[in-house]
Structure 1
């Protein structure tokens, strides 16, 4: 029999021949790209199954958008590699995901798939671009936010009583901050886990407005200057529970999973004294990998160079 292998009859399928999906490997080059720069995705599909993979399509994608590569039939034991050179968006920031996804028929009545993923974290263009946690809820909708992994949150109404309304400019310790201009339930703070945020300008101090959940948050961050030099700094931010004497602002109550808790909570100002140089970026302290119950986490709502 001759012709296109994908047009040949299927070998009879036997259930006892069930197998693990053939693996797909994915590499991305360069490994640390920048926004607006070219990247090359290379995917390799190896057919480790005892049957041919028919009508195979390999999708390569960046953040879910990409191109299909039609491979046809892939014989048992065969390996196929495809590459795709594309360009990251000029405004790309934060976590960028890369995917290789293979779809194929394994017998007349069934298909299967195999998938590989990779990701890189680009600098965020602003602190708001790095927001990854919703920590503020309205008193009449408590479940839309979760600041600590146990369904607790700051009250929008309690914050308002302290002057912290969406988009408000407030001054603490001689530094002006802009409170997040977000609605309750939307992402309004970043949980510090080593993210890079771009900065510009110069000043004598880089200050943050935030708080800690599940105990004191400690960690080291880095200021990156325009000339390439770096300056490390340390933070130690107390827990939010109670009216702390070192707090910049104390709000009268908070939400917990069962409703309103009339214990005050504290927000703090902390930061680093800067060198007399132009700024390029700040690498936030790596305190945790997100808001998790029982694990200290540092929440940053605002940042200012003064």
Structure 2
């Protein structure tokens, strides 16, 4: 049967499975792609691409007659330092006639643990006084002032003491990612101590949610946080800044940063699951931002 321009046969199905379903950095994953020619014609020069992160394999399938189904496998090893979201893709390209081609794809992803808190940074919350729009901490264009922070001792890379605890402030430039919006990300930990303390603030209301500390022996500890909104000079704040930025200029109302955390068991640490407060940054929805953390 030949190709007809008025025939609606697009999107022959391609499927993708990944094994294991929850891989780790440095582990081997196997991608299985299945493509079925559900059209009424032969698809020519078919090529299936399987991709994992930045690695890719092209598998030539050739001409596939109507009704043909083909499955291919590909194994690759994730980088030892892989972290965050890793995407897996099965992408199939094929010719429908001499002058035209089409493609279909299937995709999935996994979220690997971040190797450190800065690796989990996904929001720019700090802007310079002379460039207000490069950051957005609340989804509506507001931000912390880099100059106000520096005046309070929170300059890039500085060690600052808040509520008796030493933190290293993010070593970032205004407008770059400098905090993690708490949505259940996993961050690797090491060492041990009596308390895990985080430094951050909440926007659009109180940021409340549950997190988890995992220990090297396989046990876990759940904890809850409830962090006040940043707007105003809060008596419980660890740091109060005299103003903030908005899209229209400087807002002279003070804003507050807070310390919060969890008392630890006396065991070797493995990882932290940040409290699941929101699914990301959305104006009008409470979001909890973490700029630094330390174990004491």
| Matching residue of 2:97 | 107
1:267 to 257, 270, 278: 257
1:118 to 80, 86, 108: 108
CA distance in 2, matches of 1:63, 1:171: 39
CA distance in 2, matches of 1:227, 1:157: 44
| Matching residue of 1:279 | 269
Tell me, what secondary structure is at the counterpart of 1:43? strand
Q: Is residue 2:50 matched to residue 1:50?
A: no
| Matching residue of 1:200 | 190
1:71 to 44, 61, 74: 61
Tell me, what secondary structure is at the counterpart of 1:158? helix
- Is the deviation greater in 103-112 or in 163-172? 103-112
**Once the 2 structures are TM-superposed, how far is the Cα of residue 292 of structure 1 from its aligned partner?**
0.7
- TM-score for the superposition, normalised by structure 1: 0.94
CA distance in 2, matches of 1:100, 1:32: 18
Q: Is residue 2:202 matched to residue 1:212?
A: yes
Q: Is residue 2:194 matched to residue 1:169?
A: no
Tell me, what secondary structure is at the counterpart of 1:92? coil
| Matching residue of 1:134 | 124
Q: Is residue 2:290 matched to residue 1:290?
A: no
CA distance in 2, matches of 1:73, 1:194: 45
CA distance in 1, matches of 2:137, 2:162: 22
Unaligned runs of 5+ in 1: 1-10
Q: Is residue 2:72 matched to residue 1:92?
A: no
Tell me, what secondary structure is at the counterpart of 2:119? helix
CA RMSD of aligned residues (A): 1.0
Q: Is the 8 A contact 1:252 1:265 kept in 2?
A: yes
**Once the 2 structures are TM-superposed, how far is the Cα of residue 12 of structure 1 from its aligned partner?**
4.2
- TM-score for the superposition, normalised by structure 2: 0.98
1:39 to 29, 36, 57: 29
Q: Is residue 2:236 matched to residue 1:236?
A: no
| Matching residue of 1:5 | none
| Matching residue of 1:144 | 134
Deviations 1:10-61 (A, max 9, x none): x643222032311211100001111101110001111122222211111111
| Matching residue of 1:21 | 11
Tell me, what secondary structure is at the counterpart of 1:19? coil
CA distance in 2, matches of 1:225, 1:82: 39
CA distance in 1, matches of 2:138, 2:63: 50
**Once the 2 structures are TM-superposed, how far is the Cα of residue 135 of structure 1 from its aligned partner?**
0.8
CA distance in 2, matches of 1:89, 1:64: 10
CA distance in 2, matches of 1:288, 1:53: 45
Would you say how many aligned residue pairs link Structure 1 and Structure 2? 296
Unaligned runs of 5+ in 2: none
CA distance in 2, matches of 1:241, 1:162: 17
Q: Is the 8 A contact 1:64 1:99 kept in 2?
A: no
